[in-house]
Amino acid sequence: MANMAALDPFVGMLGQFLAKPFADAKKVDATFVALTEARFKMRDFVQDQLGDWRHNVPASGMDTLLHRDALKKNPTASWNPFTWCRKKVVQHCVGNVKTVLGFRKETFKKEDRDDQLFGTFTLNPEKAFLGTSIVREDGLRLCFFGTHFPMQRLQSVLVSNKIDGSEKLMAAKIEYARVLREVLCRAAAWDFGHNTVIFVQGDLNSRTVFDFHEVGSQAKDVLLEVLKDTALMAAMTSDLNLPKGRWHEVVPFSGVNEMPVTYKVDPKVCVQRQITVGDILNRVHDPAQPPPSAKRTLTSVHRNEFGMEWGLKKDPAKVKASHFPAFTERVIYWAPDALSSQMSWALPHGGYETLGHIDGSDHRPVTLEALMILGPQHSLPAMPSRQEPEVKELASKLISKRWLASRLCACHFNR
């Protein structure tokens, strides 16, 4: 949940969410909450919640709540006045990532590795990822990361007029995969094993981008396209000390049309029904026509439609490419293939529930209830060897910090 000046409007619903049982009325094993750009102290809420639970045991059965704050001082870091001032400005004016993990002590125990489960993507401390790890008696480890993914490099791809339209999707995928790889680089330093699942949730900053490879192609979701690219999955871990594995979505989508719109919405407008990217695309883009470009624009819609019906602040046909409505608040996970081939998910509510009645941000918060089932092995899409030329080429692009800059310069020169 972004840009919340205070927890008060949200505290009642959050408390009820943590206390209620699972959809089948059974106890909850774990609940994870990730808030981005939050400007309040989560510690006070957690202490009050635990105090209430001591007198009234919640139906969820949880008895432990752990909170983390991306701006909490690192005990091993030396004090720096400039860093201190910057953190204070972010804390009071912008907000930062905060998380809460709830679980039952009879099922899981916390691992003492908080210093390892933290990282920043940029000099902006708001763009960070921080996690908490819990382990079950049989050795199953679950690492929950709350995050706010960076957007600057991906945005430079989407708004650039120097990258050919036919290459934009791949360039966007590479820049997005670079962020996912940063999380895995942190994981590679752990005693990982084959029994660990890494969950990542929060503002994942995926974007809707039009693919120019085919005439008449529909819009694509960058994160979804990254997850479909098995060569890119192999390239992410080609030089990391990790077992063979890949990223997955907890809620499967076949395309961008099915995805709920959680960005970019009007902070002052509440919408009760769930709006999908497909609802908007059906009005602004004819799939029988070529993708929009500098010479062809999307179809504009009336203010009542994009404002009152969809809850958007601006006409999607007139916003810049990086601000087209998209699905950003979601949950993904990385697991070794040996483990993920035994995993499946049951979604009692069918998937994400968008909280359209909560305003105050250009993002819509979501909730998700999911049951992880470990059963017989099933097949996964074949993933190419790390030694194949395509994988090696992608790996070099992911590792190179200057790849995007050189690509922009090369495209500019060619023009």
Chain segment 103-136, per-residue pLDDT in tens: 999 999 999 888 888 888 876 667 888 899 999 9
Q: For 180-228, how does the pLDDT look when each residue is reduced to its tens digit (9 = 90+)?
A: 998 998 888 777 778 999 999 999 999 999 888 766 668 999 999 999 9
* CA-based R_g, the chain, Å: 21
Whether 245 shows a pLDDT value over 80: the answer reads yes
DSSP H helices, 249-349, are 277-284, 303, 337-340
Q: For 300-313, how does the pLDDT look when each residue is reduced to its tens digit (9 = 90+)?
A: 999 888 998 999 99
Look over the chain and give the mean of its residue pLDDT values, rounded to a whole number: 86
Average pLDDT of the residues in 69-81: 63
Q: What is the pLDDT of residue 90?
A: 63
Average pLDDT of the residues in 133-146: 94
Residue that has been written with the tokens 């619903």 in this structure: 13
Q: What is the pLDDT of residue 230?
A: 96
Q: What is the pLDDT of residue 231?
A: 96
User: 1-10, 30-39, 376-385: lowest mean pLDDT where?
Assistant: 1-10
Whether 8 shows a pLDDT value over 90: the answer reads no
Average pLDDT of the residues in 44-57: 92
Is 142 in contact with 334 (CB distance < 8 Å)?
no
Q: What is the pLDDT of residue 223?
A: 98
Q: What are the phi and psi torsion angles at 293 (to 5°)?
A: -150, -170
Q: What is the pLDDT of residue 263?
A: 94
Residues above pLDDT 70, as percent of the chain: 88
Please provide the size of the chain in residues. 415
Of 334, 303, 144, give the one whose Cα is nearest residue 237.
334
415 band by pLDDT with thresholds 50, 70 and 90: very low
Which contacts qualify for 183-188: CB closer than 8 Å, 24 or more apart?
Answer: 183/119, 183/129, 183/145, 183/147, 183/334, 184/236, 184/237, 184/240, 184/242, 184/334, 185/240, 186/116, 186/117, 186/119, 186/129, 187/143, 187/242, 187/334, 188/240, 188/241, 188/242
Alpha-carbon span 129 to 270, nearest angstrom: 29
Is 23 in contact with 369 (CB distance < 8 Å)?
yes
Is 236 in contact with 391 (CB distance < 8 Å)?
no
Of 158, 176, 195, give the one whose Cα is nearest residue 322.
158
127 prior amide bond cis, ω within 30: no
Average pLDDT of the residues in 368-372: 96
Alpha-carbon span 415 to 411, nearest angstrom: 6
**What's the sign of the alpha-carbon dihedral 24, 25, 28, 29?**
negative
Alpha-carbon span 149 to 188, nearest angstrom: 19
Tokens of 238: 């080609």
Extents of the domains making up the chain: 1-106
- Find the farthest-apart pair of alpha carbons in the chain and give their distance in angstroms, rounded: 70
Is 97 in contact with 202 (CB distance < 8 Å)?
yes
Q: What is the pLDDT of residue 412?
A: 42
Q: What is the pLDDT of residue 41?
A: 79
